[in-house]
Amino acid sequence: MKPSAIRELLKVANRPGMVSFAGGLPAAELFPIAEIEEVTKQVLREHGRRALQYGETEGLAALRDWVAGKFSTATVKLRRENILITTGAQQGLDLLGRVLLDAGDKVVVESPTYLAALGSWRPNGVEFLAAPTDQDGMRLETLEPLLARKPVFVYAQPNFQNPSGTTLSAERRPKLVEMIRAHDIALVEDNPYGELWFEEEPLPSLFELDARTGRGANGGLDSNVVYLGTFSKILAPAFRVGWTIAEEALIDKMALAKQAADLQSSTFNQYIALEMARRGLDISKLRTVYRERRDAMLGALEKHFPAGVTWTRPKGGLFLWVTLPERINTMELLPRAVENNVTFVPGEDFHAEHNGKNTMRLNFSNAGVDDIYAGIERLGSVFKTALAQ
């Protein structure tokens, strides 16, 4: 393992005057601090002894029921047994690796893909098969030959993907589900950003398109799709409360692996997240502010980035993705950007095959509009200098 670029970057990003597009942080000024204080007090007064005690490895029953209710549809009736509460969605990725992957196994990932998924599964000795993407997500014609190589699962972030910001199109979703069904391969649908849509409500999830209940073991869930969600981007990351939805047999295996990993996620934080969710999270405010910041960034990119540089136009989430001419290595640009008080994450680490050296990820959720303009202008002049050489 080598230290990831993001980790090292976060350490310089606190310097005064620095504009950071590097992290993946939500806007801290939007955290509902007063409401969390009120809810915490309520939780301690109503459930103090239970909220501070050890609980079941699978998670707080009432929270599992809440997740089951939220993700049930006309065709999918979820039960508590289909839900595992995890220490952030990241732990869901990790536990899936532990229970499903052995050395030599293959996993299909998007190219680019979420780098901490690669980091989680790489130590298992897995072979990654990179599926190319375009502005509509995974390119399905390139996926077919990868599925023929019998991967254990396909990993996808269909909504406002980290790092690219792109969304899997409505047309491709049912086709992708059909393909994984036809090959009887699992698909891990990681959806941390889906609720942060700026324009239109999210497309149906792959889980929703695939899952049925009553046809699985004991009349339960039948689904090739494993769904990961989290409170990190819609409430606050610090609680470390996420969830995995899957067939009961897989949830049971993951719970055993979780017991070895950390016994359980914080009971206290599960109570708080549940009560906040019951009262209703104000996601519309997040959507409004993040949309403004995305628009500011897109406007600044148009104005300050030189010809030959292209970028994605995300319809939600936290990130957009920049591609420079092939000859530019963004890792080499980074020190110059830091000198100019602006940071980003070079794209290479988001690629299982270490290509994409001319790409980078920009985060727009954690900087105010003025900082976005200033930071993009600085980055634009770094690019211009590099392109002139």
Footprint of its own copies (CB under 8 A): 1, 3-4, 7, 10, 23-26, 28-29, 31, 33, 36-37, 40-41, 44-45, 48-57, 86-88, 90-91, 94, 98, 116, 119-120, 123, 232, 236-240, 252-253, 256-257, 259-269
Q: How far is the CB of 91 from its own copies (least distance, A)?
A: 5
Residue with tokens 């899952």: 211
CA–CA distances in Å: residue 241 to residues 124, 134, 232: 24, 31, 7
Torsions phi, psi for 133 (to 5 deg): -125, 160
Query: What DSSP letter does each residue of 215-281 carry, written as one string?
Result: SSGGG-EE-SEEEEEESTTTT-GGG--EEEE--HHHHHHHHHHHHHHHSS--HHHHHHHHHHHHH--
Q: How far is the CB of 53 from its own copies (least distance, A)?
A: 5
Q: How far is the CB of 47 from its own copies (least distance, A)?
A: 10
Strands 19-20, 342-343: pairing is parallel
Q: How far is the CB of 168 from its own copies (least distance, A)?
A: 24
Q: Which CB sits closer to its own copies, 55 or 163?
A: 55
Q: How far is the CB of 113 from its own copies (least distance, A)?
A: 14
143 vs 129: CA distance, rounded Å:
9
Other Cβ atoms closer than 10 A to 262: 13
Q: How far is the CB of 148 from its own copies (least distance, A)?
A: 29
Q: Which CB sits closer to its own copies, 91 or 161?
A: 91
Query: What DSSP letter does each residue of 318-371 carry, written as one string?
Result: SEEEEE--TT--HHHHHHHHHHTTEE-EESGGG-TTS--TTEEEEE-SSS-HHH
Q: Which CB sits closer to its own copies, 23 or 306?
A: 23
Q: Which CB sits closer to its own copies, 89 or 245?
A: 89
Q: How far is the CB of 124 from its own copies (least distance, A)?
A: 10
Q: Which CB sits closer to its own copies, 127 or 262?
A: 262
101 vs 143: CA distance, rounded Å:
20
Q: How remote is the C-alpha of 18 from its chain's centroid?
A: 25
Q: Which CB sits closer to its own copies, 170 or 263?
A: 263
Q: Which CB sits closer to its own copies, 112 or 137?
A: 112
SS3 377: helix
347 vs 135: CA distance, rounded Å:
16
158 vs 155: CA distance, rounded Å:
10
129 vs 276: CA distance, rounded Å:
39
Q: Which CB sits closer to its own copies, 261 or 387?
A: 261
DSSP class of 106: E
Q: Which CB sits closer to its own copies, 34 or 307?
A: 34
Q: Which CB sits closer to its own copies, 93 or 177?
A: 93
Chain length of the chain: 389
Q: How remote is the C-alpha of 52 from its chain's centroid?
A: 29
Q: How far is the CB of 273 from its own copies (least distance, A)?
A: 11
Q: How far is the CB of 71 from its own copies (least distance, A)?
A: 22
148 vs 154: CA distance, rounded Å:
12
DSSP class of 205: P
At 169, list the tokens: 């199109």
Q: How far is the CB of 16 from its own copies (least distance, A)?
A: 16
